[in-house]
Amino acid sequence: MITVRPVTADDDAAWLQLRRALWPEGSEAEHREEIERFFARGAREPAAVLLALEGGRAIGLAELSIRACAEGCRTDRVAYLEGWFVAAEARGRGVGRALTDAAEEWGRLQGCRELASDAEADNDASAAAHRALGFTEVGLVRCFRKDL
């Protein structure tokens, strides 16, 4: 059975492992620092972290925030799926759906009327999963930077 619940301080190792799998470009030290800041309540983001568990093992996560504006959204307090990940061996069995269901519930409890998310342009699997879960694609963005 799959359950979804907010992360607790005892989940730090499991959360770290899932985070590193989702965002391998970040160093272990950076992830650890963000996790510690979250539990110390010093982080503005994420606002909430949900873990999916099966038989006591963490197999997925959703990191959530509230954004004042999000692409294609009409409201100024948008629940935002900042991170969404299911361990490779657990995919295709409804874990991702259980996480977004819980994310929607969290967003409603925060008074939000929209849930938004994003994916890399070439992440076709994520795009398909978003569509299957009722998201509408609202744009494709290119990002730039410049030294100042």
Ligand X SMILES: CC(C)(COP(=O)(O)OP(=O)(O)OC[C@H]1O[C@@H](n2cnc3c(N)ncnc32)[C@H](O)[C@@H]1OP(=O)(O)O)[C@@H](O)C(=O)NCCC(=O)NCCS
Told to check if 133 binds ligand X by CB under 6 A, we report yes
> Angle, to 10 degrees, between the axis of helix 12-22 and the axis of helix 28-39?
130
The Cα angle at residue 79 between residues 3 and 131, in degrees rounded to 5 = 70
* Options 65, 97, 110, 114; binder of ligand X; rule CB under 6 A: 97
Of 26 and 39, which CB lies nearer to ligand X in the complex structure? 26
Q: Which of 38/85 has CB closer to ligand X?
A: 85
Give the list of residues 6+ apart from residue 92 with CB closer than 8 angstroms, or none: none
- Site membership for ligand X, residue 126 (CB under 6 A): yes
Tell whether residue 113 is a contact of ligand X (CB under 6 A): no
Binding letters toward ligand X, positions 33-72, x by CB under 6 A: ----------------------------------------
For position 95 contacting ligand X by CB under 6 A, the verdict is: yes
Are 80 and 42 spatial neighbours (Cβ–Cβ below 8 Å)?
Answer: no
Is 123 a binding residue for ligand X by CB under 6 A? The answer is: yes
Contacting residue, 121, 132, 137, 138, with ligand X by CB under 6 A? 132
Pairing of strands 78-86, 115-117: parallel
Nearer to ligand X among residue 39 and residue 45 (C-beta)? 45
61-to-4, 103, 112, 133, 144 alpha-carbon distances in Å? 9, 10, 20, 16, 28
The residues, any chain, with a CB within 8 Å of residue 139's CB and separated by 6 or more, are 71, 72
Whose Cβ is closer to ligand X: residue 39's or residue 127's?
127
Q: Catalog residues that contact ligand X under the rule CB under 6 A.
A: 22, 84-86, 91-97, 119, 123, 125-126, 128-129, 132-133
